[in-house]
Amino acid sequence: MRVLVLGAGGTGGYFGGRLAQSGADVTFLVRPARAQALARDGLRIRSPLGDADIAVRTVTADTLADAVARAPYDLVVLSCKAYDLDAAIDAVAPAMGAGITLMPILNGLLHYAALDARFGRGNVLGGLCFISATLADDGAIEHLGRPASMTFGERDGGTSARVEAFAALCARAGIDHVASDDIAQEQWNKFSFLATLAAGTCLMRASVGAIVAAEGGVDFMAALHDECLAVAAAEGRPIPAGARDIARAGLTRAGSDVKASMLRDLESGGRVEAAHIVGDMWHRARAAGIDAPRLQAAWVHLQCYETVMG
């Protein structure tokens, strides 16, 4: 299976790098500055699961069509931020010939409508990942903490040769993964958790541990989580008790230094996926008639951040 990964940032760089490290046929579609850095320094991963320094193949938008003409890719992994989605869709389009599969690993759900419209629903797998990773100033992928897993599957359920083929690549690379036969539910499990984490940690500009150490902090996180759980249920995807309890424990854990990647982006003064995650969850709450004052506060707060950021 030939894999093209758009983006060599926190997620694409980590998972694509691990695949390349294991000998999988992986190419990164990156912009010229990143291509130059990768040619010069290789793809460097700093991780509690093991550091790596990998020579990787890259293409840029200018060279992709020629590369595809020589040998098409089988799977395109999309690992951009949501605010880069339109340009990323245009960038990967030359690789999306007949029978080619795309798997996004972005957070949130809104991107599927745009991907389906452009490439056809049957060509788009469901995907998500659990990791805390960032592109450090020196260009290395900094993996923070130990979790690093991917979950993916056919959006209409069941399994398929393409899902099994990618699972085999992950297995060979030692990537923790789940080839799910109910990826739609997995997406809601993650979205309801992540929207709570992003809304809570961005609103308070603090880690989970700092929030829950404050008077009323545990109740705040639990109530915010309940708002997101109510939205999931209203969307016909109630979160199963097991997943709900694991999420709740993580969102209220004393001493936890966990924060959403959105808060890391905000702290560095960068763009945030506010509309894609917190805004989308609040819009869904409003459409379903669910009272969600904490989500609303976080969404207003993030919009103000974006306005001030310019």
Ligand X SMILES: NC(=O)C1=CN([C@@H]2O[C@H](COP(=O)(O)OP(=O)(O)OC[C@H]3O[C@@H](n4cnc5c(N)ncnc54)[C@H](OP(=O)(O)O)[C@@H]3O)[C@@H](O)[C@H]2O)C=CC1
Q: How far apart are CA 249 and CA 276, in angstroms?
A: 25
What tokens were used for 200? 């809570």
Q: How far apart are CA 248 and CA 189, in angstroms?
A: 11
Q: How far apart are CA 226 and CA 248, in angstroms?
A: 9
Label residue 133 left, alpha or beta by phi (over 0 means left) and psi (-120 to 50 means alpha). beta
The CB-of-17 to ligand KPL minimum distance in angstroms stands at 17
Q: How far apart are CA 196 and CA 224, in angstroms?
A: 6
**Subset of 232-271 contacting ligand X (CB under 6 A):** 261
Among 61, 130, 176, 253, binds ligand KPL (CB under 6 A): 130
Sign of CA dihedral 98, 99, 102, 108: positive
CB under 5 to 8 A by kind: which of ligand X, ligand KPL, none does 260 bind? ligand KPL
* Type of residue at 53: D
Identify the DSSP state of 280: H
Identify the DSSP state of 279: I
Cβ closer to ligand X: 96 or 290?
A: 96
Which range of residues in 20-28, 97-105, 126-134, 230-238 is near ligand KPL by CB under 6 A? Answer: 126-134
Letters for 51-80 (x = contact with ligand X by CB under 6 A, - = none) are ----------------------------xx
Which range of residues in 113-121, 129-137, 156-164, 299-307 is near ligand KPL by CB under 6 A? Answer: 129-137
Q: Does 107 bind ligand KPL (CB under 6 A)?
A: yes
Q: Does 131 bind ligand KPL (CB under 6 A)?
A: yes
Q: Does 260 bind ligand KPL (CB under 6 A)?
A: yes
Helix or strand (DSSP H, E) at 301: helix 293-309
Residue 245 CB coordination number (10 Å): 11
* C-alpha gyration radius of the chain: 19
Cβ closer to ligand X: 146 or 214?
A: 146
Q: Does 183 bind ligand KPL (CB under 6 A)?
A: no
**284 close to 227: Cβ distance less than 8 angstroms:** no
CB under 5 to 8 A by kind: which of ligand X, ligand KPL, none does 292 bind? none
Total of chain residues touching ligand KPL, rule CB under 6 A: 8
Among 261, 276, 285, 295, binds ligand KPL (CB under 6 A): 261
The CB-of-42 to ligand KPL minimum distance in angstroms stands at 25
**Subset of 9-28 contacting ligand X (CB under 6 A):** 9-12
**Subset of 170-229 contacting ligand X (CB under 6 A):** none
Q: Does 197 bind ligand KPL (CB under 6 A)?
A: yes
Secondary structure in 3-state letters for 47-86: CCCCCEEECCEEECHHHHHHHHHHCCCCEEEECCCHHHHH
Q: How far apart are CA 248 and CA 242, in angstroms?
A: 10
**Subset of 131-170 contacting ligand X (CB under 6 A):** 131-135
Question: Which residues form the interface with ligand KPL (CB under 6 A)?
Answer: 107, 130-132, 194, 197, 260-261
Question: Which residues form the interface with ligand X (CB under 6 A)?
Answer: 6-12, 29-31, 34, 79-82, 84, 87-88, 91, 105-107, 129, 131-135, 261, 273
